Amino acid sequence: MTSEALTLAEKVWNDHLVVKGENGSPDLLYIDLHLVHEVTSPQAFDGLRLAGRPVRRLDLTIATEDHNTPTWDIDKPIADITSRTQIQALRTNAAEFGVRIHSLGDKEQGIVHVVGPQLGLTMPGITVVCGDSHTSTHGSFGALAMGIGTSEVEHVLATQTLPLKPFKTMAINVEGKLRPGVTSKDIILAVIAKIGTGGGQGYVLEYRGSAIRELSMEARMTICNMSIEAGARAGMVAPDQITYDYLKGRPHAPEGADWDAALAYWKTLPTDEGAKFDAEVFLDANTLDPFVTWGTNPGQGVSLLDSVPNPEDFKDPNDRAAAERALEYMDLTPGTKMKDIRVDTVFLGSCTNSRIEDLRAAAAVIDGKTKADGVRMMVVPGSAKVRLQAEAEGLDKIFKDFGAEWRFAGCSMCLGMNPDQLAPGERAASTSNRNFEGRQGKGSRTHLVSPLVAAATAIRGTLSSPADLEGAN
Amino acid sequence: MEKFETYTGVGVPLRRSNVDTDQIIPAVYLKRITKTGFEDALFAAWRNDPEFVLNQDAYRHGEVLFAGPDFGTGSSREHAVWALRDYGFKAVFSSKFADIFRGNSGKQGLITGIIDDATIEKIWQALEANPGLEATVNLVDKTVQVGDIQAPFEIDEYTRWRLLEGLDDIGLTLRDEQAITDFEAKRAAWLPKTLPARGA
């Protein structure tokens, strides 16, 4: 019997097929893990109530509060009434249906995409969904992880399955060795700039190559997290020893014979030799610079050593019009060196870059340095646990001595659903994932950067990398 | 869900590409816990601009939207679909949609049809030359008629069938409940379980 060579994504998909779709109808896939937060779930629970349906698998469902939660004064009632109502709705729904919840103040609370991996719930070869587009983060374990809408949240709560259309596969090959000061954030910003915000549409991306293999789990999470910014349905990295070492011993990781059985299965997951991808992209890690965005979508990025582009240079009329609009919104002139762009705020946080490794990297850059005059820096750990760990390592002291705000965990200024917003016209270097118009507050201007660039920018006041600091204070 | 066959309403030219869901509905409007009443939130930032297309009398009651490529990118918020629907839109046409947005639209009965950029450009010109011109969306034969222009559009067959029949997804899936139960019986023991809760 010959077996067909398959990609990682195809293997996970096939192993979750409940019903194979026929005559153009979608496949029905089983969902192993459903993560829930307060913003995209209230209407889903309402739907269940109206139909008199229970949650089918409470043991595969977990909720936390992240988008609306304040990052100061978390022991006080939430001041914003609509935010408080939404969080209260999640608590009420969780209690009524029996869903496990980690609320503000709980040590397992945090950004849903930081909490899942931290608890050891995210594992290779599983299917993960959440009413949140950055669910793609979990693909870094070799899971098939997809963001869904509220109707689908209700669907998964009711049936633990989702009807899904077949996907195409794209290999993102990143070969070589990253230079010092260049990180996985720069890889993904460069990939999105290369393929565009719609380039991954319909595809599950698999990040491959020697540069990816060397990355830590945190760094892989950063890459997979932003797969959605390329329009992809999911992004994945094959599991390897780095994955297993990260998982082993976590609260919900398998133990004993279960671990052995899991490991044996996980080792079958990497893409078979000879498996065909529907598309391939290549990126040279050796020559990559720190990458930053200049525009209002994550595909509008350049090397930090480069300048603001001229819209005239875009061939496609839609791209040209988008660039013109973006430069007007961002108040930037073509030809301005990226390194000459002055920022008001530096935001270190979000499901893209708020894990312990991100905080360590930024702290190492600012340790003993002085913050630029007039620049505000906010540090928002991804979870209560990350915050505790950072404090145990003394990172909070480094941030506070530098003059940064050391805050409590949540999505915070990534999307400003809580009070953490930029003022109109304010400009930020942000380690988050979206530089859309108004994303971080009405009229806000966002440059997406890595934690290293964020830290160096806080010291110099203009977009900078650690390499620019030699000889500085 | 109501059955959809044909619909005629005012066509709106939205000459923008990469209309992400943060533009369709900013995050501050996502705090509501209801599923309706989002019409005021649609394109909230852009509606402050008197020149914005929906602020012009001819297009104010628009029901069929024609947009540039990469419509609905970014956040998975289904609120984007609710806002379009609550405002009165029955269909959106673009050369390219983000996957999650498209999926969400299908659940709410909002038609998302794919039409190539060149044809969208012709339709934009027709709508701009004759503001208030109506568009007729025909899901049965997959065409949209705007003045003299009759354009075929693409929509996946399964979604089209569901919309034509007005079928609800959960009901359809529960027809396969036995298959789900059978699948569950064979799942491996090592797979993650959120309960009983284990913390460190």
- Among B64, B67, B119, B122, smallest CA distance to B97 is for B67
- Among A73, A72, A77, smallest CA distance to A87 is for A77
Nearest-neighbour CA in chain B from A269: distance (Å): 15
Residue located via tokens 């397992």: A108
- Chain A touched by B75 (CB under 8 Å): yes
DSSP string for residues in B126-168: HHHHSTT-EEEEETTTTEEEETTEEEE-B--HHHHHHHHHT--
pLDDT in the model for residue B132: 97
Distance separating alpha carbons of residues A325 and B68, to the nearest angstrom? 14
pLDDT in the model for residue A471: 62
Q: What are phi and psi of A142, to 5 degrees?
A: 85, 20
Q: What are phi and psi of A175, to 5 degrees?
A: -110, 150
ipTM: 0.95
Amino acid occupying residue A387:
R
- Chain A touched by B172 (CB under 8 Å): yes
**CA A104 to chain CA centroid, nearest Å:** 21
- Chain A touched by B40 (CB under 8 Å): no
User: CA of B96: which chain A residue's CA is closest?
Assistant: A198
> Is residue B200 predicted with pLDDT exceeding 80?
no
Distance separating alpha carbons of residues B133 and B126, to the nearest angstrom? 8
Report, as an integer, the average pLDDT of B32-50: 95
Q: What is the dihedral of CA B20, B26, B32, B37, to 10 degrees?
A: -80
Residue located via tokens 């284990």: B198
pTM comes to 0.96
What are A233's two structure tokens?
Answer: 């349905």
**pLDDT tens digit sequence for A244-299:** 999 999 999 999 999 999 999 999 999 999 999 999 999 999 999 999 999 999 99
3-state secondary structure of A347: strand
Per the omega criterion (within 30 degrees of 0), is the bond before B196 cis? yes
Q: Longest Cα pair distance anywhere in chain B, in angstroms? A: 67
Nearest-neighbour CA in chain A from B147: distance (Å): 25
3-state secondary structure of B78: coil
DSSP state, residue A163: E
Burial group, residue B148, by CB count within 10 angstroms (0-12, 13-18, 19+): exposed
Residues of chain A with pLDDT under 50: 1-2, 473
Distance separating alpha carbons of residues A447 and A198, to the nearest angstrom? 20
Angle at the Cα of A199 from the Cα atoms of A40 and A207, rounded to 5 degrees: 85
**pLDDT tens digit sequence for A201-236:** 999 999 999 999 999 999 999 999 999 999 999 999
- B168 — pLDDT class (breaks 50, 70, 90): confident
Interface test with A, best of B20, B24, B33 (most A CBs within 10 A): B33
- A:288-307 residues touching chain B, CB 8 A cutoff: 297
Nearest-neighbour CA in chain A from B85: distance (Å): 15
Residue located via tokens 């633990």: A160
- Chain A touched by B94 (CB under 8 Å): no
Cross-strand partners of A377:
A346
Residue located via tokens 């996970």: A12
Distance separating alpha carbons of residues A451 and B177, to the nearest angstrom? 47
**CA A169 to chain CA centroid, nearest Å:** 20
Amino acid occupying residue B185:
A
Distance separating alpha carbons of residues B10 and A388, to the nearest angstrom? 56
**pLDDT tens digit sequence for B86-145:** 999 999 999 999 999 999 999 999 999 999 999 999 999 999 999 999 999 999 999 999
- Chain B touched by A80 (CB under 8 Å): yes
Q: Are A346 and A377 in contact (CB under 8 A)?
A: yes
Q: In terms of residues, how long is chain B?
A: 200
Nearest CB among A26, A62, A436 relative to B23 is that of A436
- Chain A touched by B31 (CB under 8 Å): yes
